[in-house]
Structure 1
Amino acid sequence: MTTPAFWAVIPAAGIGSRMRADRPKQYLDLAGRSILERTLDCFLGHPRLKGLVVCLAADDPWWPTLPSASNELIQRADGGRERADSVLNGLLRLTELGAGSDDWVLVHDAARPNLARADLDRLLGELEFDGVGGLLGVPARDTLKRVGTDGRVVETIDRSVVWQAYTPQMFRLGALHRALADALVAEAAITDEASAMEWAGYAPRMVEGRIDNIKVTTPEDLQRLQRNFAKH
């Protein structure tokens, strides 16, 4: 049996202030193309993609200049104040495009351009019959410390039960929409889609991916990826 078709949502309305650049980080150059275009590549090249929504700031002047802006698989939605608001807008746009509540939706960071096709296929394959969904991640490799407000170590955390959460994060459209909407109304602390699902009482499944599926947060992250892409 083949893996299911899926939709994708890319929240890309952030400004990435820590990059200290003249534009949002998703539009910075990565080996001749923008980070956002590199991020889109893995999805747009997948035969089971039904459609993709990019959530953008209303006054975004950079998106229309990209070749990807004219791709018929990509639709635009308004970004929101927080990531969860942007993703909710993206889910509503998918519904307008014909996505059903039981369809799989993969939410992926706009500034995470090094997603490997093998990881995407692994996520789809391992979660296709899952009752909840889940996300890519990697087990913690370093010793972890819990620190108090005074900066002193309180305890060492058992790293065997700790994972770093990556994206894509894959959930059913209807369940994710309800979880995000209810969490926002309750003013719950939501940092990603999985945390919204956890807040709603679900237990997302972790799927191990590659450690180099990094998110560009600092100039050093971009320099590292520049070197990797230059080898290809």
Structure 2
Amino acid sequence: MSITHWCVIPAAGSGARFGGDIPKQYVEVAGRSILLHTLDALLSHPRIAGAIVALSAGDALWPVSLSDMHGKPVRTCIGGTSRAASVSNALAALPVEVTGGDAVLVHDAARPNVSHVDLDALFAALDSHLQGAILAAPVRDTLKRADDSGDIAATEPRDKLWRAFTPQAFPRGLLAKALGDAASAGIDVTDEAMAMERIGIHARLVESSEDNFKITTPADLARFEFMVSPR
């Protein structure tokens, strides 16, 4: 029998880089918010058991009547002032049946186009690499390092470089410890894998489709709108 996993979605951010009157996760595409698209993409997969969404205090845009999707529980908690703090709060708020050794997925609220194919690949890696796995994509473009004037200083080798995506999956207890250790050290980790690296745990890289992109700019939103429109 396939093991099922809970998913944590940090959604307490304001989306300042995106701009607009509301946080980007609540921008509507094809009649529902980006966040609901994200939840649908995750909870429609048979190996995801439920989701907990970390919201900002006083979030008035979350649909309070939403308690399940695809027959699976959707719960909320109050997030923190950073992504890492929101993930930590959500890990603490997971149901008691999720043990410290159970792997939990962490996924960006504004990454609504993750496919079941990519999730299948992530779960296959996680089944054999129990310390963790993440979706990612190899760097294919030529990389340039700039000098202080904005001119090219050097061309950097791209061999073995990857761009980290989500979901990122790690055992609940170890991830909570890693995030807590980073916070105590005053280090603002930019993803869960970075926190785990600090305590000596290295995730398996699983190649993801480029369609699993994060909506960060209006151009990203337009791309997602185009992809959703024929559905």
Task: Please tell me the root mean square deviation across aligned C-alpha atoms, in Å.
Answer: 1.5
* Greater mean deviation of Cα atoms: 165-174 or 194-203: 194-203
Question: What is the DSSP-based 3-state SS (H/G/I as helix, E as strand, rest coil) of the residue aligned with 1:8?
Answer: strand
Cα separation, 2, equivalents of 1:189 and 1:223 = 30
Q: Is the 8 Å Cα contact of residues 53 and 76 (structure 2) preserved in structure 1? A: yes
Question: What is the DSSP-based 3-state SS (H/G/I as helix, E as strand, rest coil) of the residue aligned with 2:220?
Answer: helix
1:128 Cα offset (Å): 1.2
Q: Show the counterpart of 2:43.
A: 44
Amino acid at match of 1:70: S
Cα separation, 1, equivalents of 2:177 and 2:147 = 35
Amino acid at match of 2:227: N
* Greater mean deviation of Cα atoms: 11-20 or 163-172: 11-20
Cα separation, 2, equivalents of 1:101 and 1:89 = 15
Q: Show the counterpart of 1:73.
A: 73
- Aligned sequence identity (%): 46
TM-score norm. by structure 2 comes to 0.94
Cα separation, 1, equivalents of 2:128 and 2:140 = 29
* Greater mean deviation of Cα atoms: 6-15 or 37-46: 37-46
Unmatched runs of 5 consecutive residues or more in structure 1: none
Q: Is the 8 Å Cα contact of residues 3 and 125 (structure 1) preserved in structure 2? A: no
Unmatched runs of 5 consecutive residues or more in structure 2: none
* Greater mean deviation of Cα atoms: 193-202 or 46-55: 46-55
In proportion to residue count, which structure has more helix? 1
Cα separation, 2, equivalents of 1:142 and 1:48 = 34
Question: How many pairs are equivalent?
Answer: 228
| CA distance 1:209–1:3, change in 2 (3 Å) | farther
Structure 1 segments of 4 or more deviating over 3 A?
Answer: none
Cα separation, 1, equivalents of 2:96 and 2:55 = 17
Q: Show the counterpart of 1:144.
A: 143
Q: Show the counterpart of 1:157.
A: 156
TM-score norm. by structure 1 comes to 0.93
Q: Is the 8 Å Cα contact of residues 3 and 124 (structure 1) preserved in structure 2? A: no
Cα separation, 1, equivalents of 2:173 and 2:63 = 30
Q: Show the counterpart of 2:56.
A: 57
